[in-house]
Structure 1
Amino acid sequence: MNPSFWLFWNPQRLLMASVAVALVTITLKTAAWYITGSVGLLSDAMESFVNLASALFGVAMVTIAQRPADDDHPYGHHKAEYFSSGFEGALIIGAAVAILWTAGHRLFHPQPLQQVGWGLVLSVLSSGLNGVLAWAMFRSAKIHRSIALEADARHLVTDVWTSAGVVIGIGAVALTGWLWLDALVAMGVALNILWEGGRLMWRSSQGLMDEAVEPEVLAEIQKTLEAFAHPTIRFDHMSTRRAGQRRFVDLHMHMPANWSLGRAAAVRTSVEQALMSAVPGLRATIQLLPSDVEAYVDDEKDLM
């Protein structure tokens, strides 16, 4: 598909689309629960409310993340996306607890299901919408390096699997007459989304703590630096971090002390440009030092 298509469907537009889809799926799944009385379908509908809240919060955080750097935030606002991911994880966990509570009650007080066929049709239709949107979000998240978009996509995939489990469970109830299966399926749904919520919160916490860049990004940085390595030029004290869509690398570049400042600065500029061309979204900061001068570090881990 044309890359310009995914550039048009940026994180903000796709999250707005997620809001619209969430409203549609809430309507479909709530109707499915209403006509069947299935607690499994109720759990599915509750998760769609989480989708809606998460998408709305994600739109707000992505909008903030796109703001340019200012005096109070000289490195930009990119970390705002991690708040979106963490918020979504917290909502998922809250929904899972509510589902477990409701399903536990229904397990001991089972009720017959009504109009199962229509309920399953509405559930499958809503799952199809979520599946298509999740696929688009994953593609766009990879291009735009958006953790908020990736988090919402992962949640939608969880929703699809949730709905599939609910459909299978309700179908089994209709075939066997075992009403307790409905509550058991709902509890399984809750445990699944509880796991996904925990994963999202963990990823968010790691991003807020200045996690290093991904191994493949680090390998690309080192490969680029090796192209400039020379008996008279060496690099050390490299540190990296990521913040939302941005990647940062700081390092020292040693070169002969008899070089003019202009020559040294020109080489540094070439290295910085090469790094930022090799890794989209990277911001490189290089400190120049003479070959016979070592910078003070208080931790051996700071060494390249």
Structure 2
Amino acid sequence: MVGQDDRTVERLAFWGIPLSIGVLGLKLLAWYVTGSVALLSDGLESTVNVAAAFIAYFVIRYAKRPPDEDHQFGHYKAEYISAVLEGVLIVVAALLIIQEALGALAAPRVMDAPVLGLAINAAAAVVNAVWASVLIRVGTKHRSPALTADGRHIMSDVVTSAGVLAGLTGAVLTGYPILDPILAILVAINILFQGWKVISHSLSGLMDRAIEPEEEEALKKAIADNAAGSLGAHGLKTRRAGPAAFIDFDLVVPATMTVAEAHRICDRLEEAIGAAVPGAVTNIHVEPESEKAHGLRVRIERRAR
């Protein structure tokens, strides 16, 4: 099942490359027929989508490599690096847009062929909206930070395009061409914000952030419901690395329990945890009952029934 998930993520990442190039072509065509700096800014953001699509594809392929001697916990975090790079590219695109828009403020111009240009840009926005929804849904389901970050950025691009279309329609109807560069600057500010969100979310993953609260609740329940025969568990620690969730805790057993009996309990717990937290890599330290007196802090409130 994991292999199938990997293939799904990799296949989507691959098709993001030609699709992003096609959308970029449409947006540049819209700018070419109108001369609008706001449409140019929208197109510049799409150049980031193309670069991000290439980065995401190659990083996702690298991240799914099995553990090796130098990377014994796997290569999952490579996806976070991809997402950080995408965030940096977004910020660079925003700065380029601001530079272009400030120049246009001094000499605003009326758009050529506005209806045709806006129609082309609207078509590109619809394609992006559908594709972004697919990436976010699949990336979230399969725990792919690179795919999810790409989808969220493209969705922010859709919002940007919608704002540009609305603003330029207003500029055409009111006859105020200065609205074009002003709108481009507003677009750039929004892109800067989106870029910061992508970077901050990815950095938290690189810093070994714990699993989500709802996942932790499911994990605690799985331990409590499947630890029969033990005396309880404590010292729970978790961290998320892309599709993998690394889970460590101590399991207290009667001092007279055999190794084989304790092993069976651990097998049962690992199976239950894997069902509760997809991608779980579980490490359980078994300790005898006498160790409970050492004052270790209990981290799991539910005890085995």
Question: TM class, shorter-chain normalised?
Answer: over 0.9
| 2:182 partner amino acid | L
What stretches of structure 1 move > 6 A for 4+ residues in a row?
none
**Gap regions ≥5 residues in structure 2:** 301-305
| 1:215 partner amino acid | P
Kindly indicate whether the alpha-carbon contact (under 8 Å) linking 2:230 and 2:251 is maintained by their aligned counterparts in 1: no
Partner of 1:159: 157
Partner of 2:46: 48
Q: 2:267 aligns with which of 269, 276, 295?
A: 269
Kindly indicate whether the alpha-carbon contact (under 8 Å) linking 1:220 and 1:278 is maintained by their aligned counterparts in 2: yes
Q: 2:216 aligns with which of 215, 218, 234?
A: 218
> Larger deviation: 152-161 or 7-16?
7-16
Partner of 1:187: 185
Partner of 1:64: 62
Deviations 1:168-219 (A, max 9, x none): 1111111111111001111111111111100000011100010000111101
Kindly indicate whether the alpha-carbon contact (under 8 Å) linking 2:6 and 2:64 is maintained by their aligned counterparts in 1: no
Q: 2:36 aligns with which of 31, 35, 38?
A: 38
Kindly indicate whether the alpha-carbon contact (under 8 Å) linking 2:65 and 2:75 is maintained by their aligned counterparts in 1: yes
Kindly indicate whether the alpha-carbon contact (under 8 Å) linking 1:232 and 1:255 is maintained by their aligned counterparts in 2: yes
2:263 is equivalent to residue 246 of structure 1: no
- Would the alpha carbon gap of residues 175 and 76 (structure 1) be closer, same or farther in structure 2, given more than 3 Å must change? same
| 2:194 partner amino acid | E
Partner of 1:199: 197
CA root-mean-square deviation: 2.0
Find the aligned partners of 2:226 and 2:79 in 1 and give their Cα distance: 35
2:167 is equivalent to residue 134 of structure 1: no
User: Paired residues, what number?
Assistant: 298
Find the aligned partners of 1:68 and 1:206 in 2 and give their Cα distance: 23
Find the aligned partners of 1:171 and 1:221 in 2 and give their Cα distance: 52
- Would the alpha carbon gap of residues 232 and 286 (structure 1) be closer, same or farther in structure 2, given more than 3 Å must change? closer
**What SS does the corresponding residue of 1:111 show, helix, strand or coil?**
coil
> Larger deviation: 267-276 or 204-213?
267-276
Q: 1:84 aligns with which of 82, 98, 123?
A: 82
What TM-score, normalized to structure 1?
0.93
What TM-score, normalized to structure 2?
0.93
Partner of 2:303: none
Shift, 1:15, TM fit: 1.7
Shift, 1:9, TM fit: 7.1
Partner of 1:93: 91
- Would the alpha carbon gap of residues 8 and 212 (structure 1) be closer, same or farther in structure 2, given more than 3 Å must change? closer
Deviations 1:104-125 (A, max 9, x none): 1211221221110110011011
Find the aligned partners of 1:272 and 1:7 in 2 and give their Cα distance: 20
